[in-house]
Amino acid sequence: DGYVEVSGKHEEQQEEGGIVSKNFTKKIQLPYEVDPVTVFASLSPEGLLIIEAPQIPPYYQYGDSSYGNEIPMDSQEATCA
């Protein structure tokens, strides 16, 4: 639905014998120029979450009425009647 949702859970055993549990959820709306299908995530060697959301090139953006209206033709193939 145009959002990226990240959630995580971390538990630590305490010296006193208990467990400390931390949970989080973050929901972020994607900009309109990002195709949600191209969004992906990875972990860095240091354990940082990296989320990449490449922009759609301007000529592929949704709702661009100029996309597909012009077809380049070789001048040798064009004929006039």
Helix (H, G, I), strand (E, B) or coil at 41: strand
Taken as a whole, the chain contains a residue count of 81
Report yes or no on whether pTM surpasses 0.75. no
Output the pLDDT for position 80. 47
- Give the mean pLDDT of 20-33: 93
Pair 34, 53: CB distance under 8 Å: yes
Asked if residues 49 and 39 have their Cβ atoms less than 8 Å apart, the reply is: no
∠ at Cα 66 (55, 69), nearest 5°?
125
Under a CB-based contact definition with an 8 Å cutoff, are residues 46 and 21 in contact? no
Judge whether residue 72 has pLDDT over 90: no
